[in-house]
Amino acid sequence: MLSDITLGQYFPGDSIIHKLDPRMKIIITIIYITTIFLASNIYTLIIVFIINIIIIFLSDIPFIVILKALKPLLFIIIFTVVINIFMTGGETLLFSLWFIKVYADGILYAVFMVIRIVSLVSATSVFITYTTSPTMLTDAIERLLSPLKKIKIPVHEFAMMMTIALRFIPTLIDETEKIINAQKARGADFYSGNILKRAKALVPVLIPLIISAFRRADELATAMECRCYRGGEGRTKMKQLHYNFNDLAAFVLSGVLLAGVIVSKRFLL
């Protein structure tokens, strides 16, 4: 289960999405998330979902990777579907048994929510982590937040902190799986008993995991000090970020998609 979590991983490539400016990727992601939440009917959301499929195809990221990213959210997706099917009313009754009533609107809204969750997770993963290296992501966040430097906010340190936190997720997941396998080899049981017993069984996993996380943080700090890292003051960039035609085209297309959803929400409903 833990090995299937791909959050925070970077997949090197030479696709169109990989070549986009990381600043534009963040901007497009924000626009896309806004579009998903503004899509208020199943038809506009299906269009957004189709575009999401096209984005995954253009990124050259295998669909199996996207499915692995969604696997940890399977419980949330199923819970959302059940809640919407049985708690949403409507005019067309499809099934009734005692106090359980299933309406057509409930099923439609359940599908609506699943498409929204899948689109949200897959698109943000493709743009932010799968196709953007940690260095480029740090530079992009720092450049986008650079106006905040005028009010003495440590933008470089903030960007570095966010990127390190994001990129340490796969490392911690891998470390957790190793610890669990080691505890299983010693006879530990994590799956039997009630919830309280299972929670207590996780204590031998959490303690070494926390110790390992602090050790890795200390090693990272030592490595940065050995390389004379002193924050963002006076630092230069080996690779300069530049917008190109593909960035402009992607921005225009995302803006058109957002405008189309707003128009459909305003005039077609």
Sign of CA dihedral 59, 63, 68, 74: positive
Most distant CA pair in the chain: distance in Å?
Answer: 71
Cβ atoms of 210 and 179 closer than 8 Å? no
Tell me the average pLDDT of the chain. 80
Q: What is the pLDDT of residue 120?
A: 87
What pLDDT, in 10s, does the model give residues 161-176?
777 777 777 777 778 8
Q: At what angle do helices 104-124 and 74-87 cross, to 10 degrees?
A: 160
Q: What is the pLDDT of residue 83?
A: 83
What pLDDT, in 10s, does the model give residues 52-94?
889 888 888 888 888 877 777 788 888 888 887 777 776 777 7
Q: What is the pLDDT of residue 252?
A: 93
Q: What is the pLDDT of residue 31?
A: 92
Task: Tell me the whole-structure pTM to 2 decimals.
Answer: 0.74
* pLDDT over threshold 80, residue 231: no
Bridge partners, 97 (sequence order): 100
Q: What is the pLDDT of residue 232?
A: 63
Q: What is the pLDDT of residue 221?
A: 81
